[in-house]
């Protein structure tokens, strides 16, 4: 069967190459899996402790090889997106540049003793000289002020990027400096939590699972194209590249556009254009609410014809000849309306289907739950074991997966340019949709459906899904333009 | 916290009072209440600007977390400037927001605001209408700013043409400030301003 699907897309320029090219792993088993599942993506799901360990390894590596404190290593890793090797190499070339870039040292070395250690410039108090401290920039302030500064910053959610208190000074306070001034345990804990979150967010190989209250963190090595990661804890499907819900075959930029479009009221303007016209006299916006074309403007009481926008008086009461309005000078104007109407129709077409599948997906979530309890009942009643009914469970899960992909084909189609490729896409989409509905029908009536029949249907649906993904899911941004605009 | 804030403000108040700028009349600072949480600032319009000769009052509110958070400052005197709202007096200045540093003082802030009057940042506008005029018709902007300085800040240049147009609208029953805003917004075109006021 895999040979068959290979045939289907081998004539399809270089796209198939991208799948395998995207995964630079020569492990045979991996290649096979990626053949079976075009969405296959190597990632791991890590616990907080595992990520801490991972981060600590980078920190240790850097602090050992450069002979610096772990706190400084953290500041530098944060600035260089956790690329320890890059830091080490650049540090060998020019240590000063690296320190300035990471805001460990000031751009211009300030003269030591620049700021006084008799009066604190912030609180105007005069503590003894040993109660002052400064960062590498040499701006001395009293310890109480540092403590207060850190407290205010931490309460505002700042952790890795707390700056020196001096004017125009960009030097950042490293962890050990902050913690040596902050004594409240709750605040110290908060600071470390924020630090950790910030580290994960700035790390190109890590991403928090966006599921509600979910503690898992994904790790992966590629951050381009629609990349499916599934959480071990909450089963949320996420795109590793952009953090949005997983969206194959649509790419990250397109799904962002689509979601924004659905969320904002960009279609309101099209609605106004499609369903309203401006009064030819006072320009107020009028919505037509009845069938009669004799309009009277509610604002200026002007009588006019909806079709040609001319004065109603000239229409007389005996004959009506607006049917020839196409030859009117209003043609261009009317064309605009027609275009807006067309655009609205197109958007609604895709949006309705997108919404409909989202709803079905939710309903099928219930089916899945019902199924589970029914299987449990059967098992309790001695009608076979879990293993006997496993196929039903698998069918429902497969249905969910197929429906999910189907939902995300609509934004893709919406932004596709008309042409043979779109025709092919919509053909495959229609095929997938038909098989999914068949499967859905059979899953809902699972107990009366023959097991072989159901498994056959599962196979067909999954085949359609992978075929579509194989042909249209692209990872290489350079080649993405070959299929999409 | 409030303790540090009060102490700092007291010291800064003294600092401003004996500074050369106060002696020269460029800036001034006044207390509003005994708790040191609210002050009144005053800056002189810088020379060679449309604000020259005017005196601008500022409302200064000191937060409890001062000086670790910036003071809240707005213009009480109405002013025509791209980085100041002509309606609320809110100021768009980096050191009053993310570039605030605890080591900054009221004196440096007042001087920065004064500097802002000499060198506007039209690409980072607080008032889009004013900023547009500043970019597109700088001469008209200058005259309008002078006119506002004259009317609201006691500046010396009274602009006859503008006064007349405002008076015309007042005679029609429009509130003086409203008339001035409409005229300034519509580049002193009487017809468009009237249209907007009566629509």
Could A149 and B108 be called an inter-chain contact, meaning their C-beta atoms sit closer than 8 Å?
Answer: no
* Residue B178 falls inside a structural domain: yes
Q: Which of B118, B151, B186 is the last residue of a domain?
A: B118
User: Does residue B113 sit in the same domain as residue B133?
Assistant: no
User: Does residue B10 sit in the same domain as residue B96?
Assistant: yes
User: Which chain A residue has the Cα nearest residue B102?
Assistant: A165
Q: Using the predicted structure, report yes or no on whether residue A126 has a pLDDT greater than 60.
A: yes
Q: Using the predicted structure, report yes or no on whether residue A91 has a pLDDT greater than 60.
A: yes
* Residue B19 falls inside a structural domain: yes
**Which residues in chain B have their CB less than 8 angstroms from residue A187's CB?**
none
Q: Mutate which of A114, A116, A123, A184 to disrupt the B interface (most B C-beta within 10 Å)?
A: A123
Measure in Å the smallest separation between the Cα of B147 and chain A Cα atoms.
Answer: 35
| Residue A45 and residue A231 in contact, taking contact as beta carbons nearer than 8 Å | yes
List helix spans (H) across A156-251. Answer: 175-181, 185-202
Could A167 and B1 be called an inter-chain contact, meaning their C-beta atoms sit closer than 8 Å?
Answer: no
User: Does residue A453 sit in the same domain as residue A356?
Assistant: yes
Could A167 and B108 be called an inter-chain contact, meaning their C-beta atoms sit closer than 8 Å?
Answer: yes
How many domains are contained in chain B?
2
* pLDDT attached to residue A29: 44
**pLDDT averaged over chain B?**
89
User: Does residue B20 sit in the same domain as residue B76?
Assistant: yes
Least confident of A39-48, A235-244, B16-25: B16-25
Contacting B with CB below 8 Å, chain A residues are 121-125, 139, 141, 144-145, 148-149, 151-153, 163-169
* pLDDT attached to residue B57: 95
Which member of B84, B92, B131, B183 is catalytic? Answer: B92
* Residue A35 falls inside a structural domain: no
Measure in Å the smallest separation between the Cα of B9 and chain A Cα atoms.
Answer: 9
Q: Using the predicted structure, report yes or no on whether residue A21 has a pLDDT greater than 80.
A: no
* Residue B17 falls inside a structural domain: yes
User: Does residue A140 sit in the same domain as residue A95?
Assistant: yes
The structure tokens listed for A361 are: 């997906």
CATH number of the domain encompassing residue A122: 3.30.40.10
Measure in Å the smallest separation between the Cα of A286 and chain B Cα atoms.
Answer: 18
Q: Which of A202, A228, A258 is the last residue of a domain?
A: A202
Helices (H) and strands (E) in chain B, counts: 8, 4
Which member of A124, A149, A166 has the closest CB to residue B68?
Answer: A149
Give residue A388's Cα distance to chain centre.
Answer: 39
Q: Using the predicted structure, report yes or no on whether residue A320 has a pLDDT greater than 90.
A: no
Q: ipTM exceeding 0.85?
A: no
pLDDT band at A324 (very low <50, low <70, confident <90, very high): very low
Q: What is the distance between the alpha carbons of residues A325 and A305, in angstroms, rounded to a whole number? A: 11
pLDDT digits (tens, 9 = 90+) for A144-153: 999 999 999 9
Q: Using the predicted structure, report yes or no on whether residue B144 has a pLDDT greater than 90.
A: yes
Q: Using the predicted structure, report yes or no on whether residue A382 has a pLDDT greater than 90.
A: no
pLDDT digits (tens, 9 = 90+) for B63-104: 988 899 999 999 999 999 999 998 899 998 889 988 899 989
Q: Which residue has the tokens 């079976």?
A: A36
User: Does residue A323 sit in the same domain as residue A409?
Assistant: no
Give me the mean pLDDT over the B14-43 stretch. 84
Could B4 and A145 be called an inter-chain contact, meaning their C-beta atoms sit closer than 8 Å?
Answer: yes
DSSP string, A251-263: -HHHHHHHHHHHH
* pLDDT attached to residue B145: 94
* Residue A243 falls inside a structural domain: no
* pLDDT attached to residue A18: 43
* pLDDT attached to residue A192: 93
Question: CA A146 → CA A132, A332, B6, B13, distances in Å?
Answer: 9, 68, 18, 23
User: Does residue B36 sit in the same domain as residue B103?
Assistant: yes
User: Does residue B12 sit in the same domain as residue B75?
Assistant: yes
Q: Name the phi and psi angles at A474, rounded to 5.
A: -125, 140
Which range marks the domain in which residue A127 is found?
Answer: 48-202
User: Does residue B30 sit in the same domain as residue B109?
Assistant: yes
User: Which chain B residue has the Cα nearest residue A149?
Assistant: B68
SS3 state of residue A127: coil
User: Does residue A109 sit in the same domain as residue A168?
Assistant: yes
User: Does residue A285 sit in the same domain as residue A347?
Assistant: no
Q: Which of B118, B147, B182 is the last residue of a domain?
A: B118
Could A145 and B104 be called an inter-chain contact, meaning their C-beta atoms sit closer than 8 Å?
Answer: no
* pLDDT attached to residue A188: 94
pLDDT band at A87 (very low <50, low <70, confident <90, very high): very high
Q: Which residue has the tokens 């790790």?
A: A219
**Which residues in chain A have their CB less than 8 angstroms from residue B106's CB?**
none
CATH number of the domain encompassing residue A451: 1.20.120.1750
* Residue B87 falls inside a structural domain: yes
More confident residue, A41 or A24: A41
Give me the mean pLDDT over the B155-165 stretch. 90
Give every strand in the sheet of B72-75, ordered side by side.
B27-31, B38-44, B55-61, B72-75
User: Which chain B residue has the Cα nearest residue A162?
Assistant: B101
* pLDDT attached to residue A199: 93
The structure tokens listed for B171 are: 């005679």
User: Residue B60: is it exposed, middle or buried by C-beta count within 10 angstroms (0-12/13-18/19+)?
Assistant: buried
Give me the mean pLDDT over the A94-123 stretch. 81
* pLDDT attached to residue A110: 65
Q: What is the distance between the alpha carbons of residues A284 and A281, in angstroms, rounded to a whole number? A: 8
* Residue B123 falls inside a structural domain: no
**Which residues in chain A have their CB less than 8 angstroms from residue B99's CB?**
168
Measure in Å the smallest separation between the Cα of B61 and chain A Cα atoms.
Answer: 18
pLDDT digits (tens, 9 = 90+) for A250-295: 888 888 888 888 877 656 656 666 677 777 777 777 777 655 667 7
Q: Which of B118, B142, B157 is the last residue of a domain?
A: B118
| Residue A79 and residue A103 in contact, taking contact as beta carbons nearer than 8 Å | yes
Give me the mean pLDDT over the B10-39 stretch. 84
User: Does residue B114 sit in the same domain as residue B150?
Assistant: no
Which range marks the domain in which residue B87 is found?
Answer: 2-118
Could B102 and A168 be called an inter-chain contact, meaning their C-beta atoms sit closer than 8 Å?
Answer: no
CATH number of the domain encompassing residue B43: 3.10.110.10
**Which residues in chain B have their CB less than 8 angstroms from residue A121's CB?**
103
User: Does residue B33 sit in the same domain as residue B76?
Assistant: yes
**Which residues in chain A have their CB less than 8 angstroms from residue B69's CB?**
152
| Residue A466 and residue A37 in contact, taking contact as beta carbons nearer than 8 Å | yes
User: Does residue A170 sit in the same domain as residue A312?
Assistant: no
User: Does residue B8 sit in the same domain as residue B81?
Assistant: yes
Q: Using the predicted structure, report yes or no on whether residue B149 has a pLDDT greater than 50.
A: yes
* Residue B30 falls inside a structural domain: yes
Q: Which of A296, A328, A360 is the last residue of a domain?
A: A328
**pLDDT averaged over chain A?**
80
Cα-based torsion angle of the residue sequence A64, A66, A68, A72 in order, rounded to the nearest 10 degrees: -110
* Residue A452 falls inside a structural domain: yes
* pLDDT attached to residue A439: 87
User: Does residue A319 sit in the same domain as residue A342?
Assistant: no
- Identify the top-confidence range among A16-20, A353-357, A362-366, B101-105: B101-105
Q: Using the predicted structure, report yes or no on whether residue A481 has a pLDDT greater than 80.
A: no
- Give the Cα-Cα-Cα angle A320, A322, A327 (nearest 5 degrees): 145
* pLDDT attached to residue A2: 41
pLDDT band at A1 (very low <50, low <70, confident <90, very high): very low
* pLDDT attached to residue A333: 59
Least confident of A17-26, A73-82, A331-340, A374-383: A17-26
How many domains are contained in chain A?
3
User: Does residue B143 sit in the same domain as residue B183?
Assistant: yes
Give me the mean pLDDT over the A457-476 stretch. 85
Q: Using the predicted structure, report yes or no on whether residue A479 has a pLDDT greater than 80.
A: no
* Residue A282 appears among annotated catalytic residues: no
**Which residues in chain B have their CB less than 8 angstroms from residue A153's CB?**
68
Least confident of A201-210, A261-270, B183-192: A261-270
User: Does residue A470 sit in the same domain as residue A423?
Assistant: yes
Give me the mean pLDDT over the A449-460 stretch. 87
**Which residues in chain B have their CB less than 8 angstroms from residue A167's CB?**
101, 103-104, 108
Q: Name the phi and psi angles at A294, rounded to 5.
A: -80, 105
User: Does residue A57 sit in the same domain as residue A190?
Assistant: yes
Could A148 and B4 be called an inter-chain contact, meaning their C-beta atoms sit closer than 8 Å?
Answer: yes
H/E stretch holding A153 = helix A143-155
* pLDDT attached to residue A270: 61
* pLDDT attached to residue A13: 42
Q: CB-hemisphere CA count at 13 Å for A366?
A: 4
Give me the mean pLDDT over the A50-69 stretch. 93
* pLDDT attached to residue A14: 40
Could A149 and B102 be called an inter-chain contact, meaning their C-beta atoms sit closer than 8 Å?
Answer: yes
User: Does residue B10 sit in the same domain as residue B88?
Assistant: yes
Could B101 and A149 be called an inter-chain contact, meaning their C-beta atoms sit closer than 8 Å?
Answer: no
The structure tokens listed for A443 are: 């899953």
* Residue A1 falls inside a structural domain: no
User: Does residue A96 sit in the same domain as residue A171?
Assistant: yes
* pLDDT attached to residue A62: 92
User: Does residue A155 sit in the same domain as residue A115?
Assistant: yes
* pLDDT attached to residue B110: 92
pLDDT digits (tens, 9 = 90+) for A383-425: 878 888 888 888 888 988 898 999 999 999 898 888 888 889 8
User: Does residue A368 sit in the same domain as residue A408?
Assistant: yes
User: Does residue B132 sit in the same domain as residue B108?
Assistant: no
* pLDDT attached to residue A326: 41
* pLDDT attached to residue A480: 40
Give residue A91's Cα distance to chain centre.
Answer: 35
* pLDDT attached to residue A272: 67
């Amino acid at each position: 069967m895999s040979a068959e699907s290979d045939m289907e897309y081998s004539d399809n320029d270089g796209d198939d190459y991208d799948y395998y090219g995207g995964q630079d792993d020569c492990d045979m088993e991996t290649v096979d899996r990626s053949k079976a599942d075009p969405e296959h993506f190597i990632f791991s799901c890590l616990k907080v402790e595992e990520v801490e360990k991972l981060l600590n390894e980078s920190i240790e590596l850097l602090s050992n090889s450069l002979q610096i404190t772990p706190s400084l290593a953290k500041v530098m890793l944060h600035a260089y997106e956790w690329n320890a090797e890059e830091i080490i190499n650049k540090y060998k070339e020019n240590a000063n540049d690296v320190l300035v870039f990471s805001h460990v040292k000031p751009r211009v070395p300030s003269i030591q003793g620049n700021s006084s250690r008799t009066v604190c410039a912030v609180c105007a108090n005069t503590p003894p000289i040993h109660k002052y401290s400064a960062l590498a920039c040499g701006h001395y302030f009293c310890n109480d002020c540092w403590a207060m500064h850190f407290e205010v910053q931490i309460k505002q959610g700042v952790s890795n990027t707390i700056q020196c208190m001096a004017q125009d000074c960009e030097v950042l306070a490293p962890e050990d400096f902050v913690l040596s001034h902050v004594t409240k345990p709750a605040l110290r804990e908060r600071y470390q939590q924020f630090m950790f979150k910030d580290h994960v967010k700035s790390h190109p190989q890590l991403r928090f699972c966006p599921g509600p209250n979910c503690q898992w963190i994904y790790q992966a090595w590629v951050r381009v194209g629609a990349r499916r990661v599934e959480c071990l804890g909450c089963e949320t499907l996420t795109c590793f590249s952009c953090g949005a819900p997983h969206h194959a075959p649509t790419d990250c930029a397109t799904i962002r556009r689509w979601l924004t479009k659905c969320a904002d009221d960009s279609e309101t303007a099209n609605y106004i254009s499609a369903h309203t016209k401006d009064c030819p006299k006072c320009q107020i916006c009028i919505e037509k609410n009845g069938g009669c074309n004799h309009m009277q403007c509610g604002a200026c009481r002007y009588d006019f014809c909806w079709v040609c926008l001319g004065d109603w008086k000239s229409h007389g009461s005996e004959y009506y000849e607006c049917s020839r309005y196409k030859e009117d000078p209003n043609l261009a104007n009317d064309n605009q309306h027609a275009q807006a109407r067309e655009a609205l129709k197109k958007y609604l077409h895709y949006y309705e289907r997108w919404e409909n599948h989202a709803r079905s997906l939710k309903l099928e979530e219930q089916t899945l739950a019902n199924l589970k309890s029914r299987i449990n009942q059967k098992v309790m009643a001695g009608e076979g074991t879990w293993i006997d009914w496993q196929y039903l469970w698998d069918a429902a899960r497969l249905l969910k997966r197929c429906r999910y992909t189907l939902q995300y084909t609509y934004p893709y189609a919406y932004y596709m340019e008309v042409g043979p490729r779109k025709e092919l896409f919509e053909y495959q989409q229609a095929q997938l949709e038909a098989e999914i509905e068949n499967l859905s029908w059979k899953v809902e009536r699972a107990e009366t459906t023959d097991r072989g029949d159901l498994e056959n249907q599962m196979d067909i649906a999954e085949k359609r899904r992978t075929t579509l993904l194989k042909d249209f899911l692209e990872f290489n941004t350079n080649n993405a333009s070959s299929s999409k605009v | 916290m409030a303790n540090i804030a009060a102490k700092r403000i007291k010291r800064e108040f003294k600092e401003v009072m004996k500074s050369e700028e106060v002696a020269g009349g460029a800036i001034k600072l006044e207390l509003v209440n005994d708790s040191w949480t609210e002050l009144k600032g005053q800056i002189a319009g810088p020379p060679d600007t449309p604000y020259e000769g005017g005196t601008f009052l500022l409302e200064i509110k000191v937060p409890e977390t001062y000086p670790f958070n910036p003071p809240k400052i707005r213009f009480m005197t109405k002013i025509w400037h791209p980085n100041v709202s002509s309606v609320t007096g809110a100021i768009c200045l980096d050191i009053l927001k993310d570039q605030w540093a605890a080591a900054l003082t009221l004196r440096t802030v007042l001087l920065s605001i004064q500097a802002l009057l000499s060198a506007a940042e039209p690409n980072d506008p607080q008032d889009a209408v004013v900023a547009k005029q500043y970019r597109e018709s700088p001469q008209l902007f200058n005259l309008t700013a002078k006119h506002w300085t004259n009317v609201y800040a006691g500046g010396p240049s009274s602009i006859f043409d503008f006064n007349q147009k405002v008076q015309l609208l007042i005679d029609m029953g429009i509130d003086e400030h409203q008339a001035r805003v409409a005229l300034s917004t519509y580049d002193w075109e009487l017809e468009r301003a009237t249209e907007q006021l009566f629509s």
